[in-house]
Every structure is written in structure tokens, then in C-alpha cells.
A and B are shown apart, each in its own frame.
Chain A
Amino acid sequence: VSVQTSLQERAGTHARVVSSDGPSRRQAAVGVVLDNGVLIAFLALFLTLSIASDSFLTKTNLLNVLEANADVGIAAAAMTIVVVAGGLDLSIGAIYAFAGVIAAEVAISSGTVLGIVAGIAAGAALGAFNGLMVTVGRVNSFIATLAVGIVLRSLAGVITGGAPVMPKSGSAFTDLGRDALLGVRCSVWIFVLVALAAGILLARGTFGRRVTAIGSNAAAARMSGVSVSRMRFMTFVLSGLAAGIAGVLVASRSGQGSPDMAMGFELPVIAAVAMGGTSFVGGDGSVWRTVIGVLFIGLVYNGLNLLSIDPAYQPLFLGVIVLVAVAADLGRRSGRTRPGGG
């Protein structure tokens, strides 16, 4: 009862007031803006940049934005599924680096193709480890993935001795990250494929319905026959797999795997998910909105560059975006917020 009371009490501070004869037109308009906030913000920024900078609305620049944010996009698409299931994965940056290192190491010892496969497989395996920590170990996912991330970073350091691992220059290792297909880099195509796959997985079919069910009410889902543990486990495997793909792509693009890659990678990914209005309480979210969130963040960075604003401001903007997005989202889903805290 006390939980209920506090929820209502807290909800009261955020709730849009609904009068007895239905919401007014102004309130409805506010609702539309908040529901499509990320799309409106994206379009507004796109328009602003098109006017403010001549070099923005060019094929080269727009493709650059896509390529530069492909890794964030791939990881964020999978992270959306984890978050909808009510979890969080803070180990993706470490998995990314680990997969990049493994890919480079194996590429040196046994050839490029095996290297790439090994890197991606390592990502999935580490995701499975996270899944086991959360389901069998029954550790809170935020804590488990935080700890696994710390451990993986040091493990990657042990494997490499702290230095980047570089396959021979001119070897096929860099092809995946640098080659283009129909004038578009492979990493962009992979971003599109992963986003489509994750979107379909979440929005259509049994898997997505079950993931949404365990995120909105795990107990109810369990009673209606959904294996909550298996679903949770799967979401972390997907997240690890995506982080692995992202890490391998970037290792290939830069020609090296390094244990220090993708420090702080979690924040842009979480920022994109938050921008997309996916609820961090679980049970509600969509991949396409996350993708718009990724593109929005990409445009922010791109705009800062084009307008020659000091790159030092980038983390500042990113942090503010997360806070505003999450706060706006709290306001939007007034009735469902959870009391503050970890």
C-alpha cells in the first residue's frame, strides 16, 4: 500500500492534469509534441543545420554522419530491447573493446575472416555471461553489467599488454570497415540491417511481445507462461552481439583493436535510447525512435563540428541531452514513474 501511495504522490507532481470532460486542445498538443519529441527535435535540428551551414546538406556529409554513428546505432538498437525488457547493459563499451581486440588478435593468428567471426562471437558470449549473471546469479542487471564491464576492461588489458593490436597494414582486416557497397560504407549497411532486425524483433512477433511483457510486469508475464529468465538472458545476448559487431566494425575501420576503445560508449547509447522515449522502467519503447535518437545525437556532433564549436563542448551537450530527454519522458508517462533511486 505504501508503494502505491508514494507512486501516486510522486505521479501527482508530474501528471498532466486531465479535466473531467477530457484533455483540452492545448494539452493534447503538448501530448503530441512529447510523444514525437525526438522526431520533431531531429527535424528541427536538420532544418537549422541545413540553413546554418553550406556543407551540411551534402551526400558526403550525411553519409559521414551515418558512418560515424553506426557503432552507436548498432548498440543502441539492441540496448532498446534490453531496456524494454526492464534491464540495462553498462558493459557494452567494454564488450566493444574486447571484441575489437579479439578480432585483431585472431585476424593476426588465423586470418581475417576467422578474426571477424571470433570478435562477434566473443561479443555474444560475453552477452551470454551477462545474461547468466542476471538470471542464474540473480544480480541486478545494472550492477552485474557494471562489474562485468570493469572486469572486461582489465581482461582486455591483460590480453594485449595494454597496447593496441594491429594486424599487418594492407591486410584484408580493414576491408569490412572501409569498403563500400553502392557508394555507401559497409558499416552503414550493417547499421541499417541491425536496426531493421532489432525493430522487427521488438515490434512484430512473439519475442517482442514477451520482452515487452516481462518489462512491464515480470510477475504477470511469468504467470502467463513466459519464461522470464530465458527472455532476459536472450536480451543480453543480443546486446552483447550488437556491441561485438560494433567493436569489430570500428576495429576494422581503424585497423586496430585496443583495450581503451569506446571509453564512455554507454552514454551516447543510453542517450539515444532515452531520446527515443523508451521507458527506463521497462515495458515500452521502439527501435525506430532510438534510431532517430542516434541520428539526432549524430547531428549534434556534426553541427558542432561544422559550426567550428570547440569539441570540448561535446560531452556537455550529450549529458544535457540525456537529462532533458529522461526528464521529459518522466513528465510524459507521469503515472508510471518509479520512485527515484538506483
Chain B
Amino acid sequence: MINTQRLDRPRTDVARESIDRVREHGALVVLVVLFVVFSLATSDFLTIDNLRVLAQGAAIPALIACGVTVGILAGQFDLSVGAIFGVAGVAGAYAFNEAGLPAAIIAGVLAGVVIGAVNGVLVAWVGIRSFLVTLATGFIVLGLGLVVTGGTGSWMVRDYGGFADLAQGTLVTFQYRVWIVLAIFAVAAFILARTRAGRQVYAVGGSEPAARVAGVRTRVIIFSTFLTTGACAGLAGVIGASDTGVAQSSGGTGAEFAAITAVIVGGTSIIGGRGGVWRTLAGVLLLATIANGFTLLYVDPKYNALVQGVIILLAITIEARLRGVVPL
């Protein structure tokens, strides 16, 4: 991990490293502990069937969160991913009816990329803050989804069997979508950790002015992160639509919150510059495991929501206390 310490946060290197160690491994440690606890508590947990259920449930949220992580690493919030998810699903369902599965995937990803490009231009070149831009474009996209579906908000897939293969076909016991999402995580992790563009994402998130002075084309980087976020949410939308056979334009409502929750819980710094997609994967799995374990133990599902809430509030407060984040 490169050092992109922000100018306004004087902390000793030792403290910083220990914070990062907790960040890096906190979610993972809790995940392992939960695995052990649930395995001991119920014999239904550590079975291949249950793990399959867990992975298939986590795949789509993980894909959305992967893109959102890239944005947050560069200091950008994308609150439009839920809307992108819905409208990309509609685009995918439409394209599938017209031209088949490859067209569906292209259409969904393209829809996400186009919306991401609009977000990126408005943030990077017009200079509006990311959460304002994406809050507004999210609404616009939600409205567009309603308009293109003729006010119904949903689009049926004609040949469900053929389309469902994308989400439900299996390879080595796990569904395709699990492998697709893992592959995307691997690519994203590689780009972030090993390439120049990846390092520049961290630099921009650490300090945009500093990165610019150091010669990083910050606007291009910010723009690219919105393309990535849009593409991930778009692909997730197509997979989601293929799972059910009906694309709902409002189907992704709240997905942006779930994604941000996973990012925070995973330990990526919410103000940018520190973290990684693997942490987000751990965050998504942690939240999914809690939900799964509670279900198996017949705990009322509403307590799952509460536990998640406590976890997210703890995570952001701990981060802010440790880092000394200056309030907005």
C-alpha cells in the first residue's frame, strides 16, 4: 500500500500502521470468528449447500460494492448505483429479447458506463461534489427507468430459461455469477495494487491537490472511477435481471447504502486514499454471514438489520476517532 497520508492529519507512522493493520484484518478476523461460532452453533452452517446459498446471495451486492470501493478510494461517492442497477437490468432485459445474452450484457454494462460518464463529467469537470451529483442523477435515472418502461417500472424477459443461465448456471458447484464476481474482484485488485492508474486512484483519494501537483491527471482518474462504478452496477443489474427474469427499474433501491455499508465495514477509509477491494469483499461476506447465520439459528430477521446498523455506526465512529477526520 503506498503512503498517501493527508496533509492535515499529523499521526505517527507507528500509530498509522497499527490502525491500518486493524483495518486490513478486522473484518476478516470477525468473519473467521463468526464462521467458527456459527459452525459450532448449528450443523447446517458449514455445509456445501449453505455456502453455495451464502455465495450466491453475496455475489450481486459484492459486485456493486466493488465499483463503489474504487470510487471511494478516489474520494468519490456514487449514490446512483442503485438506480443504475435497475435501469441496466431493464436495458439488459430489452437487449436480451432483441438480440440474446451477449447483447444483454453489453447493453447493461454500457448503460452503467454512460451514466457513470455523466457523473464523472459533472464531478471532475463541472466541479459539483460527487454525492450531490449522484443523488440527483440517481433520481434522473430512476425517472428514466419509469419512462422507458412505459410507467410500469418493469420489463419481462421472453425466454427466461436462456437468460437465467447467466445468473444460475453452475461451474464447480458455484453459480456463474459467483465466478464472474470473483474474477472482477481479482482484476480490480490487480489494477489497484499493481498498475500506475491504480496507484493514481489512491493518490487522488489521499489528496487531490497534491496528486495534481505531482502530475496525476486527477480529472481523468476521477472520471474513470465513475465509469468503473457504473460498469459494475450495470453488470450487476443484468445479472440481477437474469436471476429473476423480470427487470425492475426500481429494483436497486437502497443498493447504494448496502454497498457503502460493506465498504465501511470492510475497512476502506471513507474519505479516500486507503483500503482495497478485498476488504470490501470481506465486508460483504461478513454482513452476508451474519444474515445467513441468524436465519439458520431462527433469529428474528429484524435483529439482523439492527446488528448491521450497530456494526456500521461502530465502524465509522472508530475510523473517525482513530484517524481524527475533520468533520464536514
Contact = CB atoms under 8 A, between A and B. Distances in A.
A33 B307 CA distance: 51
B260 A161 contact: no
Given A5-B209, A147-B316, A263 B253 contact: yes
Interface string B289-325: 0000000000000110110111011001100110011
Contact of B208 (A88, A310, A314, A341): A341
Contacts of A263: 253
Interface stretch (A38-46, A120-128, A131-139, A203-211): A131-139
Interface in B203-247: 208-210, 212-213, 222
B143 A316 contact: yes
A337 interface: yes
Nearest to B309: A151
B327 A135 contact: yes
B143 A139 contact: no
Contacts of A142: 77, 131, 328
Given A2-B209, A139-B325, A330-B127, A158 B305 contact: yes
Interface string B181-216: 000000000000000000000000000111011000
B209 A6 contact: yes
A274 B129 CA distance: 12
A87 B131 CA distance: 13
B306 A140 contact: no
A157 B302 contact: yes
Interface in B14-50: none
A270 interface: yes
Nearest to B212: A6
Contacts of B139: 264, 267, 315-316, 318-319, 322
A129 B307 CA distance: 18
A3 B208 CA distance: 9
B323 to A, nearest CB: 9
A312 B154 CA distance: 13
Contact of A143 (B212, B222, B270, B324): B270
B138 A140 contact: no
B140 A316 contact: yes
Contact of A319 (B140, B253, B325): B140
Contact of B313 (A147, A274, A320): A147
Contacts of A270: 132, 135
B204 to A, nearest CB: 9
A315 B139 CA distance: 5
Contacts of A143: 270, 316
Contact of B136 (A147, A267, A338): A267
B257 A340 contact: no
Contacts of A151: 309-310, 312-313
Interface string A132-165: 0111011111111011111100110110011000
B124 A88 contact: no
A339 interface: yes
Interface in A241-279: 263-264, 266-267, 270-271, 274
A262 to B, nearest CB: 14
A227 to B, nearest CB: 14
A330 B128 contact: yes
B316 A5 contact: no
B86 interface: no
B76 A342 contact: yes
A2 B128 contact: no
Interface string B124-149: 10111111110111111011101100
B127 A14 contact: yes
Contact of A315 (B72, B140, B308, B328): B140
Contacts of B272: 341-342
A339 B313 contact: no
Contact of A327 (B128, B310, B313): B128
Residue among A134, A149, A154, A264 facing the most chain B CB atoms (10 A cut-off): A154
Contact of A146 (B124, B127, B260, B302): B260
Contacts of A10: 127
Nearest to B152: A312
B327 A232 contact: yes
A263 B77 CA distance: 19
A146 B208 CA distance: 23
A97 interface: no
A100 interface: no
A339 B209 contact: yes
Interface in B246-304: 253, 257, 260-261, 264, 270-272, 302-303
A86 interface: yes
Contacts of A339: 127, 208-209
B222 to A, nearest CB: 7
B305 A87 contact: no
B55 interface: no
B151 interface: yes
Contacts of B209: 2-3, 5-6, 339
Pairs A-B, 10 closest by C-beta atoms: A154-B305, A316-B143, A151-B309, A319-B140, A312-B146, A315-B143, A319-B139, A322-B136, A6-B209, A158-B302
Given A137-B317, A140-B327, A319-B139, 17 more contacts: A2-B212, A140-B325, A140-B326, A141-B327, A151-B312, A151-B313, A158-B306, A267-B136, A267-B139, A270-B135, A280-B129, A318-B136, A322-B139, A323-B136, A323-B137, A327-B122, A339-B208
7 contacts: A5-B213, A6-B209, A154-B302, A264-B139, A322-B139, A342-B72, A342-B131
